[in-house]
Amino acid sequence: MNHHAFLLWWGRIFTITIKELKQLIRDPVLLLIIAYFFTIDVYMAGSGINLSLRNASVMVIDHDHSAASRELIYRFRQPYFDFKGEISGKNEAEQLLNKGQILAVLDIPENFQRHLLQGQPETVQFQVDTSNTVLGTLVTTYAMEITADFGQDFVGKQMGINTDPMAALPVIQNRYRVLYNPNRIDSWFMSIMELLTVITMLSMMLPAAAAVREKERGTIEQLTVSPLSSLQILLPKVISMGLVILFGVAVCLFLIIIPFFHLPVRGSISLFFAVTALYVFTASGIGLFIATISRSLGQVTMLVILLMMPILLLSGAWTPPEAMPQVMRWGMVISPLSYYNEMAYAILLKGAGIDILWDSILGLTVLGAVFFNFGVWRFRRQFG
């Protein structure tokens, strides 16, 4: 290819890219929605969502009314629990649990304090609403920890086992350090996760919509009789939508996530954007493939959602890979989001560089090349 042909080739790409951008700008509702996704949507996911336990409402049936029972109740407090008061009997408890007004009931038996003082083993009952298992499990775990601690402290104090200078007893002290996000701030995780979901959705949807719209309106015929090659028709759609998405990511990162959630960016921002561009390219490849097998936008939407759900679920963003069955862990190999997800968190939170991430970058590049070429090949067969 000589110099002139090279310029001509890219000149055509440039012209069509401008055309795509103009078309997008003329749909103000769509632009508004894209802006919403990159700003308010990510902000809300980051600010309001907490995956850990907060304020679980608990009520108590206290049959003992002693100093010990009061002290135990007092330990069920914020941030994990929200003590809603005492109730008299089991029936009332059941009704409140049924209605979902409270999550758990603590039932302290008679002679609670006396048994503890006499050194007899004692049990308190705890009824938990487990219709939401995540919540039910967390509530139970915390309640167990609280009661066990209380029992040890109470008896220790009474029996004169001196628990204060721990050094005098043969125990292991549990010292843990949570790395990368020491205070376990959910908003760091949630806002990035929502951003990745938004990127996935838009980079599959927007190029696919741009391509299938030409088919629906018949303008594709005009493009195919022009001197443009299949690649020159499809690539500008990916480039233009990719530019819009990268711009959105920049807005989201610099105007929402960093200022509002104080995300400490530990790695290289340019590496993050490079990886994002690679991912957008890969996901648009899937979008283009969908566009070639659909005839209308209705079909595109259905197929995008159909493919997007497994991609999201196999990414490790919704469900930690540790919680997946083995078959699904293997499935993660072909979900482009699983590579991108890993890299995005590694770059932003762990400060990882190319030396550590090269294998994920390679995996994503291979997937991207396969998807994109497959999309172009299908398109060429249809219109070429």
Cα 28 to Cα 237: distance, rounded to the nearest angstrom: 18
Looking at 150, 281, 339, 372, which residue binds other proteins (CB under 8 A)? 150
- How many residues touch other proteins under the rule CB under 8 A: the total is 121
User: Which residues are 43's β-sheet partners?
Assistant: none
Q: Which is nearer to other proteins, 280 or 346 (CB)?
A: 346
Alpha-carbon distance values, 276 to 22, 169, 212, 249, 270 (Å) = 24, 53, 24, 9, 10
Q: Which of residues 170-209 bind other proteins (CB under 8 A)?
A: 170-182, 184-186, 189, 201, 205-206, 209
The answer to the question of residue 270 lying near other proteins (CB under 8 A) is: no
Q: Which is nearer to other proteins, 345 or 379 (CB)?
A: 345
- Give the helix ranges, DSSP H, for 314-353: 326-331, 336-345
Instruction: Please choose, out of 220-228, 273-281, 293-301, 374-382, the segment that lies near other proteins by the rule CB under 8 A.
Output: 293-301
**C-alpha angle 231-235-236 in degrees, rounded to nearest 5:** 125
Shortest distance in whole angstroms from residue 66 CB to other proteins: 14
Q: Which of residues 95-124 bind other proteins (CB under 8 A)?
A: 97-100, 103, 116, 119-124
Looking at 8, 25, 67, 168, which residue binds other proteins (CB under 8 A)? 168
Q: Which of residues 232-261 bind other proteins (CB under 8 A)?
A: none
Cα 257 to Cα 191: distance, rounded to the nearest angstrom: 7
**x/- binding map, residues 298-327, to other proteins, per CB under 8 A?**
xx-xxx-xx--xx--xx---xxx-xxxx--
Cα 144 to Cα 106: distance, rounded to the nearest angstrom: 11
Shortest distance in whole angstroms from residue 4 CB to other proteins: 37
Cα 194 to Cα 91: distance, rounded to the nearest angstrom: 42
Alpha-carbon distance values, 290 to 154, 206, 299, 300, 336 (Å) = 65, 12, 9, 6, 16
Q: Which is nearer to other proteins, 52 or 226 (CB)?
A: 52
182 half-sphere exposure, CB direction, 13 A CA radius: 3
Q: Which is nearer to other proteins, 144 or 370 (CB)?
A: 144
